Structures are given as C-alpha cells and as structure tokens.
Chains A and B, each alone.
Chain A
C-alpha cells in the first residue's frame, strides 16, 4: 500500500472512530448513569414504560401525529414536487430556496409564525377556519366527533408538513425531472398504460414510490422528535421528546427526584428503538431510490414538457405561499406592537422592536453581536462537520465498492445515529461526562459546536453519498491511464464533480448551526456567547407584560430568517442540475 493509501485509510478510521464515539458515548454514558440512579436495567426500563406517568399517552399521541404529519407532507409536497419537476420554471433556484428555508428555521420561530396565522387575529380565522379557539366549523366538528382539540392537532400536522415540505421536493423532484419522457409515452401506447390509473400503478409508483416513502420516513422522524411546535401548538398534548424535556433537568441525580430519572430512562429507550427502526427504513429506501434514477438529464425532461401549465403554476405558487405565510406573519409582527387604551387594543406600527433588538436593551446582547456569534459557531461547525461527513460518506461508498456491503450499511446507519438519540440524553451525557473528565470544558466557548457537529454530519453524509453514487468511474479510470498522482486523480476524478453537493452540504450545515437552539442539547446555556436563536428564545421565554418584548423577539427572529434564506439562495447557485441529494 502506498503512503497516500495508508494515510487515506488512517484518516477514514480516525473519522469513523471519532464520529461513532462522539455520537454514542454521551448516550451510552447517560444510560449508564440512569441505570445507576434508578437501579433499573435497560430491559427493565423498557418493561416499565407502561407504568411511567404519561408515557403511554405520549407514545400514542407521538405516533399519531408523526404518521399524520408524514401523510400530510406527502399530500401537500407531492403535487408541488410533481409540478416543479416537469416544467421549465424561471428562477427555479429561488423557488427551491424558498421551499427549503422552513426545514432549517428554528422551531420556536416556526411556532410563532403559525400561532400568528392561526391566532385570533390570524388570516385563517378571517376566512373562517379557527384552529386555535376551535369555534365555527372546527368547533362543530369537535362537538360532533367528540374529539378533543382537533384544531390544535390539525395546526400541528400542518406545521410539520410545512417544516418537512422541502424533504418531499428534494427527494421526488430529481427523480421525476430526470425521468426519460419516452418511458411515459411508450407506456401510454401499451395496453397496461392506457388509463391514468394504470400509468400510476405501472410507472409512477415504481419510479417515485421509494423517493416518496423515503421523504415520508424522514418526515415521520422529524415529527416524532418535535418539541417546540408541540409545546406551542398542542399545549394539552405531549410527544415523547416533550415529556422528557419536562422532566429532563432533574434526571441523573442520585437520591433526588428519582421519578424523573425513571421517566427519562424508559422513554428515551423506547424513542431510540422506534427512531432506529425508522432510520434503518430510510436508509434502505434511499438506496432503492438512488438506484431507480434514470439517466436522462433534467434539462431535457423539462424541455420536453415546456413552460408550466396554469394548474402547475397555481400548485407551485400555492406551495410557495404556504411556505412564506408564517414568515410574512413573523416579519409583520416585528413591526407591530399592541397598545391598550381604555380597554381596547390596537396594533400600532413601530420600529421599537428593531431598535430594542439592535441595542440589546431587553436581552443580554444586541442582535448584531448575537449574529456574529452565530456566524462564528456556524463556521466552526462547518469546518468540522463538512470534512467529517464527507470522509464518512466516501468511506461508506468505498466499502460498498469493495464488497463490504454489510459494513457499509452499518456505517451508513451509524452516521444517522445522532438523529435517533434524544437531544436531551446527549445533553445529559455531555454534562455528566464532562463533569467527570474535564469540568473546565463548560467554560469553553466552542462547546456548542460539538452538538452542532453531531446534528449536521448525518445531513452532510446524506447529501454526499448520492453524489458519490452518481460519480462516473470512467473519469477515475482515465486519471489512472494518464498516470496522474493520487492527489491529482482525486482532484480531477472526484473533487470537480463533488464540488456542487459539497457547497449544498456546507450551506445546510451553516443554516442548521445558525438555527440550532443549544439549550436542549446542553441543558444549560452558558457564557457570553449567546447566539441569535438563543436571544430569540430568551425574549420569548420572558413574561410579555411589556408589549415591546414580543415585537423585539420577532425582530430578532426575522434577522435569523433573513440570514438563513440568504445562505440558501447562495447555495442554490452551486447546485448541479442533476443533483440527487436528499436536500
């Protein structure tokens, strides 16, 4: 083996060990700690789940809302993805960026956007749909069906669908847009393709089915672990994550609030098993999905169908409007403050919220400083997560290519592990582990980068892996024939083709890090390095007797959204036409 080969192997092993330990150690540590505190074994903790206060109810609700959210995501997302992929759209990159922004929007901002849409002065109420107070149509439905708060449930699954819409677009659009138009034409000539239903059965379901299922499985996963949206939109219900968050801070302490530790131990294990199963399913489906892609270029497929029809235009613009409404609502709220005089309330237009947000009068710092902190954290996360995720994706690909199929599957699944582990458990593990080994680390300002890296690496892998799959091996062969050095071969045979997906992965990493809300990960928010999302949360958590607090929070949230959106628009410029990544 050459020096280059040995170095490459060492780097791969190091990346795999570093990531696997980094993602499993805190969870394993937290489990050991809870085992010690509760005196339960893991098996016993699973057995006791049914006796944990609120556990079964939370599990039923979590499963129900996650399944309903995934179905609604398909229902809303599929027509948009279909229309977006079959026609030649002007400014398609901007359209994609707009639809992608919800996915990286901090959930507390999303919750505020939806609350202002469905609240008493919201636009939905004005058209007769009252999901919050459940009057009118929704109220009648609740009365007839005997269902407690159907409006709240609907609001939650709509918000989840909004959040996950981009998943559907990113998975389905590349498949449909790169499908050879001849297939459809040929099938319509055959007896099995005469009717629309037959074409759906024999062409569309086999072609886009795995992509739809893959997107639905991920929607299920993100809805399953939802916390802030559940807390704000369905205040009478708990998901498993929300249930754990309630008891989280007192878990893991010997002889103190043992019932909290029992709850966390039991619920975290049940959640882990369900999510692991979902991730395995996603991984299998994504593999199927990437195999079914046709070879025709997207440009040709789009050219074939030409300019969008009226129906397609309405569908896509309705999708974009659906995406934008909560954002518009947040932006408008940042310029309005309530004024009560003589018992009547009016909303007056003001820049006070923006002034407070910049000056930091109502928070620990102004949004300017918080934004620079957010950007520093995001850049640090990018510097670690992008190369780490890239190396892991290439290792999975290499294992596949060299016949280590099962190992590649295992590593692929391991890369998704951080998404299956409760954020709270990681936080507990980090805290207890840190106290044990190196307490001073809590004073280190870069500590939040650790959970940011764990959170973003799975997405980098999911973007880079399909890019590796679509690499044409003949380029590497030609490099070898030209007797190029390993480094130059890598540059010309791989890097040139992976540049686009890497930029997309990088922008997603930056956006995720910007929006990540560190409190749930680390249990405490430490230091003078508050980020923009923490400033938003800080303002939202305070009693809002003073009407300017809410306006200020909305101004800070608007800044965060604008920053994220700018990043996505920039990243879209680098996205290749035939990019097959999931995001």
Chain B
C-alpha cells in the first residue's frame, strides 16, 4: 500500500472516531448517570403531535385513532416496538432525550423498572371507575391500567385425552416422563407473558400451598431436562408449537406441545373466533398464575402532556375500554364490564387463582436476579 493510500485511510479513521468521540454533552451524562432520577432531562420539542410509544396493540386501528383526533383536534403518531420489553428498552435508551409523550403497554413485570428509573411523570386521570384487581399491583399517579388478564398455563384437552394423560395437579407433574418434549414456554428474557409466568413460579415455589418441594430454580432445571421447548416470544410458543391453539391452522405450525403459557381467558378468545369451538383450556393451579396488568403513562420529558392525559382518558373511557376483549384480547379495567358472551368468549375463559404475593417492590428488587436464576437453571437443564 502506498503512502497516499495509508494517509487516506488514516484521515478517514481519524475523522470517524473524532466525530463519534466528541462526547460529554448533557444528554450523554443523563444516560450514563449512576442515579437515574438525578439527571436533567431534555423536554421533547413540541410539534403539536402526540407521540405514543407502544407495541402493535390490536385495538388501535385507524378508525379508533381518527375518533380521538376528531374529538380533541390533536394529531397522533405511533412509535412502535415489538413488545412490552421493547417499550422499556426504548424508554431507557432515550430517557435523556425522549422521543415520545406517552407509553402504552408496559405491564406490571416491567413497570417497577420504569418507575425505579424515573421514566414516568404524574398524570391527572382519576382511577375511581377502575376494577380493584387492576389497582392492586400499582395505584399511584405515574401509571394508569388500561387492560388486564391472568397469565397461566393452557393445555390441549383433546391431546391429553388421546394420549391418556392426566391433567396436572402440581407443577412438578410437568417434570414427569409423560410430559417429555410436550411443553413450550416463552422465554422470560424476551417475552412479557414469559416474565409473568416466571413471577408466578416464584410465587408458587415460594409459598404454600404451591411449595410442595424444591424451589423455583430446581423446577426450571427439571423442566428443561424434560425436553421443554423455549421460544423467544409468546407467538412462537402458542402458534408454532402449541397443539391446542389457532396455530394448528396456520402455515408455520409444528405442534408437539400440549401445554404452554398464555392467558386464562385465551380459550375464550379461541372460541370467540371459531364459532364457539376450542379444545384448549387453562390449568388453574393455586399460585401458578400471575395477574398481568398493562399500563399507560406519561413519559418524563413529554412535550404534549395535556394531549397525553386526554389520550389516557380516551382509552380508559367506557366507550373504548369496554371493547378491550375485542380490541386487544384482554379484560377491560373498568368496573361493571366483563368479557362478551358471544361465541362462548366468557364461557371458555377461566378464572385464575392468584395470590398477589408478588408485589411491585419484589419485582423492582428481584426481577434481575430471578432472570439470572432462570437462565442458569435452564442452562443446567
């Protein structure tokens, strides 16, 4: 290589790294601060548009948003991530220079981290009309529930009957040889129902009557040793592997798993869309479920605070929120609402036996260590 070529490369590299290295501004300091609440936050520049950070929530159709725009005159723009975890990651990554005014979709396994990191500010929406269950985990000014449901195990009744298998009465039953290779779980590292079920196992193995023997880590190791299939998200488990869900009619179906993690009311959703037919049902074991609540909240540094409050009021209004079972396949958080009776939606939806022993403080303090424990346990399997 001649001298000119070398000089050219050197100049290019120096330019690249000097530009990328001109660090040390206010934004970076805030991102990297040890105390996440002490850093100065840059308020997003107002452009008259309400920016909402969310995942692809089914209910927010063009029509629904147009209704809000007509009512308030405020334009709405969505910033989408793949799931609830993506929302938190995005908020953490952009916390010093927020890109959105409102988040919709953090559930109660992620909300404590958001609160701990001071990512939300107070809203002024009244919680008077909300159900008791939606307010049990968190009742405060930083987040408002917009839908709820119980995460629990679902199993394929027909498959169990065909293989002459008995319905489990304990989580330990799932570690027996007859369940070998017949269970699929979404990973708690990357899936919010997976995380919720991990919290449920903490509760199950941490308290009686669930705690029959052993601990959560031992159970997960035994499950992994019993050929459980772990997937990155709910869809991969439920659609690709689970034999009891709608996945069996989809192109990517593989099947083989008679049991998975979903919601206690998922069989109801199945029936609702299949002319009152489903062969999936939920496994309601004491403390083996987790009551998941999904929240909305105003992001610290929001520009359109008033519009954000209006949007929270809009999606928690009776007119919109009572349709959550249809929009987002979840329960409404408003008192006096229920799942529709149509096509057996309500009939096939089971009620979980939850303990509410997993509190906001426990998740705030322990979720990271539970995840590490889970990862190590599964690797050992």
Q: Is the CB of B92 within 8 A of A256?
A: yes
Given contacts A252-B93, A523-B90, A542-B58, contact A436 B82 (CB under 8 A): no
Residues of B within 8 A of A433 (CB): 20
Q: Which residues of A contact B97 (CB under 8 A)?
A: 435, 439
1/0 contact string of A241-258 vs chain B (CB within 8 Å): 000001001101111110
Contact pattern, B 226-252, Cβ under 8 Å of A = 1, otherwise 0: 000101101110111000001001111
| Complex-state Cα separation, A572 to B249, whole angstroms | 39
Complex Cα–Cα for A523 and B44 (A) = 19
Q: How far is the CB of B33 from chain A (nearest CB, A)?
A: 8
Selected from A116, A364, A526, the residue in CB contact (under 8 A) with B60 is A364
Instruction: Enumerate chain B residues within 8 angstroms of A541, measured Cβ to Cβ.
Output: 56, 82, 235
Q: What are the residues of chain A within 8 A of B12 when measuring CB–CB? A: 17, 20-21, 24
A-B contact count (CB 8 A): 186
Decide: B42 and A439 in contact? CB cutoff 8 A.
yes
In the complex, A431 has a CB within 8 A of chain B: yes
Most chain A CB neighbours (cut-off 10 Å) among B94, B253, B269 = B94
Contact B80 A253 (CB under 8 A): no
In chain A, positions 308-346 with a C-beta closer than 8 Å to chain B are 333, 338-343, 345
CB distance from B85 to the nearest CB of A (A): 7
A340 B27 Cβ-Cβ under 8 A = no
Q: How far is the CA of A544 from the CA of B270 in the complex (A)?
A: 10
Q: Which of B26-52 contact A (CB under 8 A)?
A: 27-28, 31-32, 34, 42, 44-45, 47, 51
Do residues A249 and B329 form an inter-chain contact, with CB atoms below 8 A? Answer: no
B-contact 0/1 string along A213-244, CB 8 Å cutoff: 00000000000000000001001100000000
Taking A20-B12, A24-B16, A366-B62 as contacts, is the C-beta distance between A545 and B253 under 8 angstroms?
no
- A525 to B55: give the CA distance in the assembly, Å: 10
Q: How far is the CB of A376 from chain B (nearest CB, A)?
A: 17
Cβ contact within 8 Å between B60 and A132: no
- List the one stretch of A78-86, A267-275, A355-363, A498-506 in contact with chain B: A355-363
A440 interface residue, CB < 8 Å from B? yes
Task: Evaluate contact between B21 and A32: CB separation under 8 angstroms.
Answer: yes
Enumerate A526-550 residues with CB–CB distance to B below 8 Å: 526-528, 538, 541-547, 550
Known contacts A410-B9, A435-B94: does B275 contact A341 (CB below 8 Å)?
Answer: yes
Interface centre among A232, A235, A343, A547 (most CB of B within 10 A): A235
Are A119 and B253 touching (Cβ within 8 A)?
yes
B341 at the interface (CB under 8 A from A): no
Residue of B with least CB distance to A538 = B56
Cβ–Cβ contact B77 & A253, under 8 A: no
Query: Residue-by-residue, is A435-463 near B (CB-CB < 8 Å gives 1, otherwise 0)?
Result: 11001101100000000000000000000
Asked if B381 is an interface residue, CB under 8 A from chain A, the answer is: no
Query: Taking the complex as formed, is B320 at the interface, i.e. its CB lies under 8 A from any CB of chain A?
Result: no
Q: Is the CB–CB distance between A543 and B235 below 8 Å?
A: yes
Beta-carbon contact of A544 and B42 below 8 Å? no
Interface residues of B in 261-320 (CB under 8 A from A): 269-270, 272-275, 277, 279
Contact A547 B61 (CB under 8 A): no
Q: Which residue on chain B has the smallest CB distance to residue A440? A: B45
Interface mask (A162-185 → B, CB under 8 Å = 1, otherwise 0)? 000000000000000000000000
Asked whether any CB of chain B lies closer than 8 Å to the CB of A365, the reply is yes
> Does A25 touch B at the CB level, under 8 Å?
yes
Contact of B240 among A235, A254, A542 (CB under 8 A): A235
Cβ–Cβ contact B251 & A115, under 8 A = yes
Query: In the complex, are the beta carbons of B92 and A253 less than 8 A apart?
Result: yes
Q: Does A28 contact B (CB under 8 A)?
A: yes
Provide the residues of chain A in CB contact with B28, threshold 8 Å.
Answer: 436
Residues of A within 8 A of B238 (CB): 543
Q: B140 an interface residue at 8 Å Cβ cutoff? A: no
A404 → B minimal CB distance (Å): 8
Q: How large is the interface on B (under 10, 10 to 19, 20 to 34, 35 or more residues)?
A: 35 or more
Give which listed residue, B232, B239, B254, contacts A544 with CB less than 8 A: B239
B9 to chain A, nearest CB (A): 7
Interface 1/0 per residue, B55-79 and A, CB below 8 Å: 0101011110100000000000111
A residues less than 8 Å from B275 (CB atoms): 339-342
A522 to chain B, nearest CB (A): 10
> Knowing A250-B89, A343-B277, A410-B9 touch, does A364 contact B78 (C-beta < 8 A)?
yes
* Bound form: Cα–Cα A362–B328 in Å: 12
A410 touches B5 (CB 8 A): yes
A235 pairs with B231, CB closer than 8 A: yes
CA distance A331 to B244 in the complex (A): 28
Tell me, in angstroms, the Cα distance from A112 to B252 when the chains sit together: 8
The CA-CA distance from A53 to B190 in the complex, in Å, is 14
Docked pose: A406 CA to B3 CA in angstroms: 11
CA–CA, A528 to B79, complex, Å?
Answer: 9
For B45, list chain A residues within 8 Å (CB).
440
Q: Which residues in A have their C-beta under 8 angstroms from that of B8? A: 407, 410
Contact B85 A249 (CB under 8 A): yes
Q: Which residue of the partner chain, among B86, B89, B250, B277, contacts A550 with CB atoms under 8 Å?
A: B250
Q: A133-B254, A345-B249, A360-B61 are in contact. Are A542 and B56 (CB under 8 A)?
A: yes
Select which of B31, B80, B269, B279 is within 8 A of A525 by beta carbon.
B80
Q: Let me know if B2 is at the binding interface, CB within 8 A.
A: yes
Collect the chain A residues with CB atoms within 8 Å of residue B255's CB: 133
Indicate if the CB atoms of B77 and A527 lie closer than 8 Å.
yes
A–B pairs, 30, beta carbons within 8 Å: A24-B16, A112-B251, A115-B252, A119-B252, A132-B253, A235-B252, A236-B229, A249-B81, A249-B82, A250-B85, A253-B89, A256-B92, A257-B89, A340-B275, A341-B277, A343-B277, A363-B62, A364-B62, A404-B5, A406-B1, A407-B4, A435-B96, A436-B25, A443-B47, A443-B99, A526-B77, A526-B99, A543-B234, A543-B239, A543-B329
Closest 8 CB pairs between A and B? Answer: A115-B251, A340-B274, A439-B97, A249-B89, A119-B251, A29-B20, A360-B62, A250-B89
New contact pairs (18) apart from A133-B255, A341-B277, CB-CB < 8 Å: A17-B15, A24-B16, A29-B20, A115-B252, A235-B236, A249-B89, A250-B85, A342-B275, A360-B61, A361-B62, A364-B61, A407-B2, A432-B93, A439-B97, A443-B51, A526-B80, A528-B77, A528-B78
